[in-house]
Amino acid sequence: MKHLEHNQDFRLNEILFEHRNKAYGAYALRTESDRILTKAFFIGVGLLAAVSIIPVAISAFKSTETVIIQDPTPPIMIDVDKPNDPPAEVLPPQTVTPPPPSVRQYDSQVVTPTRNANENDIVEDIPDDAIAGVKNDFTAPPTPQINVPPTVISGPGTVAPPKIAPVAPVEDPNKIVEGTELSKSADFEGGINAFRTKVMNKFDVSAFEMEDVVSTKLTFIVEKDGTISNIKANGKDASFNAEAIRTIKAVKGKWIPGKNKRGESVRSYFSFPISMKFDN
């Protein structure tokens, strides 16, 4: 049957390519299609079988390695010829700190064993409230009693507020005290009349030629150390004012500073009027 089909295809190809170039590739492909398909089928089956067999062959030829895990801990060596360990060293008994004298105690010291030990000194009946000590003392003196006065708890009452001492204001040391803040005004050593006499003796009247009364009022600050500063004159005649200021500076002597209410020396103002009449 297959042979008949092949012959029919062959005749069909002959009819189809009649009077045509049979060397053309399509004619060869249609003629040899069955043979090419069969060959391709067997080649594909062979490649598939080779791919499946290669892993099995590799695993068969691969050598199996045996892993040996070594124990890092060395074996315990027992020396049968070595003598037994010497007995442990016996430590001497530790010193026991004696308790206070008002507490019962018993002798807890370890006695060195001897051949002629006196067993009568061994105490078996130890009170429960006795503590370890250096001797057997079961009759402790009574503990002195401390009388603590009972705390009186009163009901809610008025709690007095704490007393806060007033903070004294810090006074400026350069403050100029005047008026009612002074308990004593500044004064010249020897009195104000002695100062006035010195001013009159120092005043230069030769530069003035007028027949009238000239006056001015001098103000200055008396410092804490008795010196004067910031001298000013408020008269109408500028020449008279200048001569008055020069005279005040030329007067030798020291001032007694003013006092505040606490009796401390302070800076204060002092006023000194000068009035003169020139007769030419």
At residue 257, the pLDDT reads 92
Q: Is 16 a member of any domain?
A: yes
**Domain of 194: which CATH number?**
3.30.1150
At residue 96, the pLDDT reads 56
At residue 71, the pLDDT reads 57
Tell me which residue range forms the domain holding 136. 93-112+121-140
Q: Is 193 a member of any domain?
A: yes
Q: What phi and psi values does residue 39 have, to the nearest 5 degrees?
A: -65, -40
End-to-end, the C-alpha distance of the chain in Å comes to 180
Count of domains observed in the chain = 3
> For residue 245, what is the DSSP state?
H
- Which candidate, 267, 153, 279, places its Cα nearest to that of 205? 279
- Please name the residue ranges forming H helices in 62-103: none
Specify the 3-state DSSP secondary structure of 155.
coil
Q: Is 36 a member of any domain?
A: yes
At residue 2, the pLDDT reads 47
> For residue 89, what is the DSSP state?
P
Q: Is 134 a member of any domain?
A: yes
> For residue 64, what is the DSSP state?
P
Average pLDDT, 10 consecutive residues per value, the chain (280 residues): 55 66 63 79 88 82 58 58 60 60 69 66 70 71 62 63 76 81 89 90 79 85 91 89 91 90 90 80
Is residue 41 located within the same domain as residue 102? Answer: no
In contact, 96 and 108? CB cutoff 8 Å = yes
Q: Which residues contact 257 (CB under 8 A, 6 or more apart)?
A: 186, 222, 223, 224, 225, 226, 265, 266, 267, 268
At residue 38, the pLDDT reads 86
